[in-house]
């Protein structure tokens, strides 16, 4: 018996140290830090993060030079970037699941995510002494829950507080992703727990549905007959896709990119398009002939250009047209932007051009059934691209 | 003072052009450029929250930009032969009657100068397109309304004397096959008033895969929906604030003249 007591004490101390470390590490990333957690739970605070079809590009918070790091999606367990959105890796889907927890649709609800993955729609009143006092938005009653039962609190303003190890938080958030995506400010008080995951996505498995933005009825853009999509959202997403494409182009044209990685980048770039029949048309104000390439052919040609370094810079300005419904039910618009491309060999600038790009962006809607009710969701893909060499 | 500066920027772009030719990567020019026909329509309509308004607000600190200023900036100012009185009257009418252009207006057309491959040879062809709206689904699409190409005309006969003789009926038109094999004199065998429908011919050649579009060389948009006026817009690609899709031609036109214009310039019936 005597021998067991010190062991118990040591174990207890160890537990408390572990618990303290856990709390410290949780507290470290609490509140307002954009952060990603690698698959081994290692954290990295973020300055920026761009998510492509297969790759993720990020900058470290404390890196003064601003180096970009590229990693595979599968290298990430969990990320909060920017505040209000979390990404959690799903092995089943072999992809990162994006969840907006402080989006326009659900930014009036604090989400208490339990370790089991269930979610309480709440208004947090006070967190103290390991206890969370909140108003339950379903019942209107004031209740409380122990923080030891919770994996994380996702606050409506985008901040968050973790109460479990990163792995536990990731598991809970993965389970809760559909519930949180289905939450709506207007339905606070209804049952959030029944979500049908049958994604009736007409685009097929190989298409990239990078976002599940629900179309609301009160934010209509453009002309009559358009879906209820906020123009800013469409513009942001369209521009993000065009920039993502350019990141791949830079990778493809850089000879330091390994052959396999360049091929992966080509595949990823092609997936940004609505289909492989889309065309890149290159013209020049000083040339009458126009060159047309199917996108994959264009990327393959680009791969043969081998620069030591490639720099792509953009004008700060871009124009996004209104979108209009086509006969196929998709919505079409054009993004126009100006880009400078510079290719270096042995540190010398050997090629440069300034181009104006007119990129077709296609808003494609698809239906998803939640609680037996059809919801129309959308995403943006690229279509044909016209490139005008202006210099 | 700021407003004057902007008007100077917008309306006296010629000076800016000269200065900006040496620039390499100009956000300013790109902001002012009318980058798409959609942006032309936005500016013509004096829409709120446009890119140019935001840019001027951000960079010149003013929102005092009149519709007149914007309309003037939509003209190609490198053209020194504008009839300024017509331009003023046109702008005055647009403002007074608050005219706006709609994407699905019926009376505007895209005129495309194309290069086509016909039986292995390159030819020029003009194609006229306009917007069609599905009243049920509200979907819109560009459709071809006419084409115009020399090679789609029936060639002049080499021998006017060749014809289907007036007694052919007596032999149950036995010579018809021989006549129609004589392709160098085809015109002799059809009614003298016959004018071939080139679009039908074009579609027929497309379906036989004897013709294909190589490229679109130039585009010009023709707007005929403003009472008493017609104007055309084309892309002036240059390093200047006054660049992009701009009005290149403005004409006073009544309805009769517009119909004639449609026939002669747009090859419409």
| pLDDT tens track for B236-260 | 988 899 999 999 999 999 999 999 9
Instruction: Collect all residues from B whose CB is shorter than 8 A from any CB in A.
Output: 24-25, 27, 30-31, 35-36, 38-39, 51, 55, 103-104, 134, 137-141, 215-217, 237-239
pLDDT tens, position by position, B49-86: 788 988 888 888 877 789 999 999 999 999 989 999 99
- Gap between the Cα atoms of A243 and B186, Å rounded: 57
Does the model's pTM come out above 0.90?
Answer: no
Residue contact B36–A327, C-beta within 8 A: no
Residue B173 reports pLDDT greater than 90? yes
Could you give the C-alpha distances from A28 to A73, A158, A207, in angstroms and in order? Answer: 24, 16, 37
Please provide the average confidence, as pLDDT, over all residues in chain B.
Answer: 88
Q: Looking at beta carbons, which residues of chain B come within 8 Å of A316?
A: 27
SS (H, E, C) A124-188: EEEEECCEEEEEECCCCCEEEEEHHHEEEEECCCCCEEECCCHHHHHHHHHHHHHHHHHCCHHHE
> pLDDT band at residue B114, thresholds of 50, 70 and 90?
very high
pLDDT at B96 over 90: yes
Residue B225: is its pLDDT beyond 90?
A: yes
pLDDT value at residue B7: 47
The predicted pLDDT at position A286 comes to 62
pLDDT of residue A317: 82
User: Ranked by mean pLDDT, which of A174-178, A260-264, B3-7, B87-91 comes out on top?
Assistant: B87-91
> Count of CB atoms within 10 A of residue A364's CB?
19
- The pLDDT score that the predictor gives to residue B155 is 87
Read off the pLDDT band of B180 (50, 70, 90): very high
The predicted pLDDT at position A378 comes to 84
The domains found in chain A, sorted by start residue, are: 28-109+154-188 (no CATH), 207-390 (3.10.450)
Asked whether the CA dihedral A30, A32, A38, A44 is positive or negative, the reply is: negative
Q: Which residues of chain A have pLDDT under 70?
A: 1-31, 64-66, 186-229, 284-287, 370-371, 390-391
Contact A319 B39 (CB under 8 A): yes
CB A379: neighbour CB atoms within 10 A?
20
Q: How confident is the model at residue B44 (pLDDT cuts 50, 70, 90)?
A: very high
Are the Cβ atoms of B25 and A338 closer than 8 angstroms?
yes
Q: Which chain A residues contact residue B103 at CB under 8 A?
A: 223, 322, 324
- ipTM over cut 0.90: no
Cis peptide bond N-terminal to A135, omega within 30: no
SS3 A5: helix
Q: What residues in A contact B217, CB-CB < 8 Å? A: 288
* Residues A272/A359, Cβ–Cβ less than 8 Å: no
Angle, nearest 10°, between helix axes B13-20 and B2-11?
80
Mutant choice from A317, A321, A326, A356 vs B, greatest count of B C-beta within 10 A: A317
More confident residue, A289 or B219: B219
The pLDDT, as a whole number, for residue A204 is: 32
Identify the pLDDT of residue A344: 87
**A110-130 burial code (b ≥16 CB/10 A, e <16):** bbbbbbeeebbbbebeebeee
Neighbours of A149 (CB within 10 A): 14
pLDDT of residue A214: 34
CA atoms within 13 A on the CB side of A191: 7
Chain-chain contact of A356 with B39 (C-beta, under 8 angstroms): no
User: Which among A223, A225, A336 is the nearest to B36, CB-wise?
Assistant: A336
Q: Supply the DSSP string of B52-75, one letter for each residue.
A: HHHHHHHHH------HHHHHHHTB
User: What mean pLDDT comes out for the span B186-214?
Assistant: 93
């Amino acid at each position: 018996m005597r021998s067991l007591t010190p062991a118990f004490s040591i174990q207890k101390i160890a537990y408390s140290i572990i618990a303290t470390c856990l709390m410290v590490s949780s507290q470290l990333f609490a509140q307002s830090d954009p952060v990603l957690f690698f698959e081994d739970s290692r954290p990295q605070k973020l300055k920026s993060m761009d998510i492509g079809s297969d790759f993720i590009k990020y900058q470290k918070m404390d890196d003064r030079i601003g180096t970009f790091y590229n990693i595979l999606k599968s290298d990430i367990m969990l990320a909060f970037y920017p505040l209000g959105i979390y990404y959690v890796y799903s092995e089943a889907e072999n992809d990162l699941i994006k969840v907006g927890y402080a989006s326009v649709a659900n930014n009036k609800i604090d989400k208490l995510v339990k370790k089991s993955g269930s979610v309480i729609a709440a208004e947090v009143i006070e967190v103290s002494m390991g206890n969370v006092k909140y108003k339950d938005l379903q019942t209107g009653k004031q209740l409380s829950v122990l923080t030891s039962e919770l994996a994380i609190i996702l606050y409506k303003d985008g901040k968050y507080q973790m109460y479990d190890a990163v792995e536990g938080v990731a598991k809970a958030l993965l389970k809760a992703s559909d519930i949180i995506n289905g939450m709506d400010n207007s339905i606070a008080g209804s049952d959030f727990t029944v979500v049908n995951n049958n994604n009736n996505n007409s685009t097929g498995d190989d298409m990239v549905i990078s976002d599940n933005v629900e179309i609301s009825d009160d934010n209509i853009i453009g002309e009559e007959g358009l879906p209820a999509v906020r123009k800013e959202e469409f513009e942001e997403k369209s521009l993000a896709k065009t920039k993502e494409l350019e990141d791949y182009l830079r990778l493809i044209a850089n000879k330091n990119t390994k052959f396999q990685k360049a091929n992966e980048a080509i595949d990823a770039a092609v997936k940004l398009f609505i289909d492989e029949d889309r065309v890149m048309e290159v013209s020049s104000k000083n040339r009458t002939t126009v060159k047309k390439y199917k996108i994959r052919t264009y990327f393959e040609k680009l791969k043969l250009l081998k620069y030591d370094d490639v720099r792509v810079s953009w004008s700060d300005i871009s124009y996004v047209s209104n979108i209009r419904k086509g006969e196929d039910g998709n919505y079409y618009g054009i993004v126009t932007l100006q880009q400078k491309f510079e290719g270096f060999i042995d540190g010398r600038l050997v090629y440069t051009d300034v181009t104006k790009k007119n990129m077709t962006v296609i808003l494609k809607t698809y239906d998803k059934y939640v609680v037996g009710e059809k919801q129309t969701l959308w995403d943006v893909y690229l279509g044909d691209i016209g490139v005008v060499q202006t210099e | 003072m700021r407003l004057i500066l902007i008007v100077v920027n917008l309306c006296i772009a010629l000076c800016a052009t000269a200065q900006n030719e040496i620039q390499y990567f100009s956000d300013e020019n790109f902001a002012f450029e009318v980058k798409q026909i959609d942006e032309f329509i936005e500016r013509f309509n004096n829409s709120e929250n446009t890119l140019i308004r935001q840019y001027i607000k951000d960079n010149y600190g003013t929102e005092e930009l009149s519709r007149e200023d914007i309309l003037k900036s939509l003209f190609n100012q490198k053209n020194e032969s504008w009839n300024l009185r017509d331009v003023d009257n046109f702008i005055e009418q647009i403002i007074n009657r608050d005219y706006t252009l709609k994407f699905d207006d019926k009376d505007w057309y895209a005129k495309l100068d194309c290069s086509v491959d016909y039986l292995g040879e390159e030819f020029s062809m003009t194609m006229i397109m306009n917007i069609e709206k599905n009243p049920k689904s509200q979907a819109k699409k560009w459709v071809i309304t006419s084409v115009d190409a020399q090679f789609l005309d029936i060639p002049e006969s080499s021998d006017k004397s060749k014809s289907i003789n007036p007694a052919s009926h007596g032999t149950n038109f036995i010579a018809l096959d021989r006549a129609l094999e004589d392709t160098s004199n085809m015109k002799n065998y059809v009614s003298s008033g016959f004018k071939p429908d080139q679009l039908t011919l074009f579609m027929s050649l497309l379906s036989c895969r004897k013709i294909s579009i190589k490229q679109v060389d130039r585009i010009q948009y023709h707007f005929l929906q403003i009472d008493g006026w017609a104007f055309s817009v084309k892309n002036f690609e240059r390093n200047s604030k006054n660049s992009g899709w701009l009005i290149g031609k403005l004409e006073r036109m009544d309805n009769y003249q517009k119909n004639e214009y449609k026939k002669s310039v747009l090859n419409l019936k």
